[in-house]
Structure 1
Amino acid sequence: MAETLSEQDRRLLRVLQDDARISNQDLAERSGMSASACWRRVRALEEMGLIRRYAAMLDAPMAGLQFHAIAHVMLTRHDHRHVDTFIAEVQKRPEVLDCFATTGEADYHLRVVCADLDAYNRFLEGFLFRLPGIANVRTNLVLKDIKQNTAIPL
């Protein structure tokens, strides 16, 4: 896909990643396109799946979510039943912002936000520890956000 992106597409996508609420007219001007061509190109990029969705980045502490952690999850076995169940259940949990399957000691890394430590304990005991195939969960607390971004380099 990257080979097929023109420099104009890249400009358009950089602007959209910075401000998805920009008007089509302003996006067209900043991308060096006519408004109608810009609108058509954005629709085409959406339809091909390159633009997956639009979102607002919120400040978690201001929203009452003071607890931020990375949970490193190890499974007992990697049979399809345990893996499929784990993935399906994690995708339903709003506390889990990101879930990555990785190499190394842990099988999965979850980025989790909760109101406080008690809420995280409820998440662990009432949800994560009850999933089949969980061998171990190790938690690292996030002390400070250094960099949070959703834009990918183009």
Structure 2
Amino acid sequence: MTLDSIDRRLLRALQRDARLTAQDLGQILNLSPSQAGRRRQRLEESGLIDSYRASLDPVRLGLGVQAFIQVSMAAHTAANAADFVAMTRRRDDIVAVWTLTGEADYLLRVYCRDLAGLNDLVQSVLLPHPAVARVQSQIVMERVKPDAPLPL
């Protein structure tokens, strides 16, 4: 799909505030609300916009510990990987998972209520998993830059 400058401006605006109405977008883009709405709908239907969600404050929700956990697999089989990934999808405290190159096979982003919760996740869930050989966690001390919009 080819994006023109108006599409890029629309996407930048929605990344900053997904609640913008067609009226709001029309004003930002110097288009009629119906034109802006049709452009947004086209970007949604193409899959370029894949979802809308609210950004929540984890600390106010009682999730005081954020950590990144590197996981190295014991054996690199399709069954081990599928089982491990399925387990991560069932866990609410694991909010994102990436596969990596390098020493670790997976990087997990987790939120826990406290250090005891993080310890329980590592000691009772991750380390006992038959696919896991090694776990290394880094606790986030301060979020310097929040998840930023994609560069367009």
Do they fold alike, i.e. is TM over 0.5?
yes
SS of 1:20 mapped into structure 2: coil
Residue by residue over 1:69-88, the C-alpha shift from the partner in whole angstroms, topping out at 9 and shown as x without a partner, is 11010001111001111112
Which sections of structure 2, spanning at least 5 residues, go unmatched? Answer: none
The answer (yes or no) to whether the contact 1:8–1:32 under 8 Å persists in 2 is no
1:5-24 alignment to 2 at 5 Å? 5-24=3-22
Q: Which amino acid aligns with 1:30?
A: I
1:8-87 alignment to 2 at 5 Å? 8-87=6-85
Q: Distance in 2 between matches of 1:152 and 1:96?
A: 23
Which sections of structure 1, spanning at least 5 residues, go unmatched? Answer: none
Which residue of 77, 89, 100 maps to 2:87?
A: 89
- Report the TM-score, using the length of structure 2 for normalisation: 0.94
Q: Which has the higher helix share?
A: 1
SS of 1:61 mapped into structure 2: coil
Q: CA RMSD in A?
A: 1.3
- Tell me the CA shift for residue 20 of structure 1: 0.6
- Tell me the CA shift for residue 150 of structure 1: 4.3
Percent of residue pairs identical: 39
Residue by residue over 1:99-134, the C-alpha shift from the partner in whole angstroms, topping out at 9 and shown as x without a partner, is 111111111111111000111122223322232210
How many correspondences in the alignment? 152
Moved more, 23-32 or 134-143: 23-32
- Report the TM-score, using the length of structure 1 for normalisation: 0.93
Report whether the alignment pairs 1:130 with 2:138. Answer: no
